[in-house]
Amino acid sequence: MIHRLNELEVIAKTLPLYVLNLGYAHPQEKVQRSDDLDLFQWFFCEKGIGEVIIGSEKMIIKKGEGFLIYPGIRHEYRATVEPWVVSFVGFKGTLCSELLRSLNQSSPGAYHFSDTRTFPKLIRQMSTCYQSKNRSVTKISTLCYELLLNLSKSIIPIGSEEYGGTHSLVDQIILYIEQNYHRPINLDDIATYCDKTKEYICVVFKNNTQQTINHFLTNTRIAQARVELLQYPDKRVYQIAKECGFEDTSYFCKVFKKNTGTSPERFRKIQ
Mean pLDDT, consecutive 10-residue segments, the chain of 271 residues? 65 82 94 86 95 88 93 92 94 92 90 89 94 87 95 77 54 90 93 85 83 92 90 91 93 92 87 58
User: Is the separation of the CB atoms in 40 and 71 below 8 Å?
Assistant: yes
Instruction: Please state, in angstroms and rounded to a whole number, the distance separating the CA atoms of residues 127 and 67.
Output: 20
The CATH number of the domain covering residues in 164-270? 1.10.10.60
CATH 1.10.10.60 residue window(s) in the chain:
164-270
CA-to-CA dists, residue 262 to 26, 224, 246, angstroms: 36, 16, 17
CA-to-CA dists, residue 6 to 10, 20, 22, angstroms: 8, 6, 11
CATH top-level class of 2-157: mainly beta
pLDDT at 164: 40
pLDDT at 122: 97
CATH 2.60.120.280 residue window(s) in the chain:
2-157
Which pTM was predicted?
Answer: 0.60
pLDDT at 167: 59
Q: At what angle do helices 198-209 and 187-194 cross, to 10 degrees?
A: 90
Instruction: Please state, in angstroms and rounded to a whole number, the distance separating the CA atoms of residues 196 and 190.
Output: 9
Residue 78 β-bridge partners: 51
